[in-house]
Chain A
Amino acid sequence: MNITVNGTTQDTAATTLDALLTELGYGEAKVATAVNESFVPAIKRPEQRLNHGDRIEIVAPRQGG
């Protein structure tokens, strides 16, 4: 299944957002997620199904002004 993660199109075997984060090596990293521009809370990731063409954003703390 092809999805876009942080702007890059890639293939994944993961069927849920939670599984995708594990597949990509985020582990216990402090990140937040959105699917198709909608926020997905951490607690909802295991039930967030992924579909072909989904756009996933995975963000972390960063410097800001």
Chain B
Amino acid sequence: MPVFYETEIASRLMLGTAQYPSPAILAQAFRRSGAGIATVSVRRESGGDRAGQAFWDMIRELGVHVLPNTAGCHSVREAVTTAQMAREIFDTNWIKLEVIGHADTLQPDPFGLVEAARILSEDGFQVFPYCTEDLVLCERLVEAGCRVLMPWGAPIGTGLGLNNIYGLRSLRAHFPDLPLVIDAGLGLPSQAAHAMELGYDAVLLNTAVAKAGDPAMMAEGFARALEAGRLAFEADPMEPRDMAAPSTPVLGRAFT
């Protein structure tokens, strides 16, 4: 099972907590899938509002690890300050670091990401960077102190799956011992299984589950796909080949 910053997690599924039809369905999705990590955020709250407290109480009852994010931050300063606020609220050094560089694609800003990762790592954070599969960027993130990498499969919320299989495979080969998580872009369990077959350690998704007709069932579907894909990876799959080769013995065939 994956180990993030010396903490072993009992599941390869990391689930977001946004966009569910209700808190009860969110809880069902976690319980039915066995997801081990919940991503959360911080947002403005007015004085009389206690929605944040109610949400936090519900998440704690799930008994999962909490990974706060810096979603929506477009600058290093915003991301660093948001991370600091999240650390105080959630009492964890873990931070899913997002520094968004493009408003339409929600593509990470690689330059700001590295700078923020370095600042936060030096401040004692354990950074989970939402990044692209760019090898040079990932090397810089590791140099900045990251001990987990979370490349996107496709842009957030698209459900397009793994857009750059070659790049993701290269990244796995280049960092054989570093925990790698596909973060964002997955829409179907088959895509999660593929990520496992590539040797990735976990996937992080939200929309694919929360926006399914039956989120809890879809969460379980992802959990089973992750298990299947991981088994396939560990079983050492056959090499594909262009030419057909009969599986039934040719020797002893009748009528020859």
Contact = CB atoms under 8 A, between A and B. Distances in A.
Nearest to B184: A65
B42 A65 contact: no
Contacts of B252: none
Contacts of A38: 81
A13 to B, nearest CB: 15
Given A30-B89, A32-B89, A39-B81, A65 B44 contact: no
Interface residues of B, number: 40
Contacts of B81: 34, 37-39, 57
B193 to A, nearest CB: 21
Contacts, number: 112
A31 B71 contact: no
A63 B17 contact: yes
B41 A25 contact: no
A61 B69 CA distance: 11
B51 interface: yes
Given A39-B85, A59-B85, A65-B18, A30 B41 contact: no
Contact of A31 (B39, B52, B156): B52
Contacts of B85: 32-34, 39, 57, 59
Contacts of B43: 59-60, 62
Given A41-B88, A65-B19, A30 B71 contact: no
Contacts of A31: 45, 52, 89
Interface string B48-79: 11111101100100000000110100000110
Contacts of A59: 42-45, 52, 82, 85, 89
B55 A6 contact: no
Of A25, A31, A39, A62, the most chain B CB neighbours within 10 A belong to A62
Given A60-B89, A61-B42, A62-B41, A24 B47 contact: yes
16 contacts: A6-B46, A24-B46, A29-B47, A30-B53, A31-B45, A32-B85, A37-B78, A39-B81, A39-B88, A57-B85, A61-B59, A62-B40, A62-B45, A63-B55, A64-B68, A64-B71
Smallest CB-CB A-B distances: 6 pairs = A60-B52, A64-B41, A65-B16, A25-B47, A65-B206, A32-B85
Interface of A: 6-7, 21, 24-26, 29-34, 37-39, 41-42, 57-65
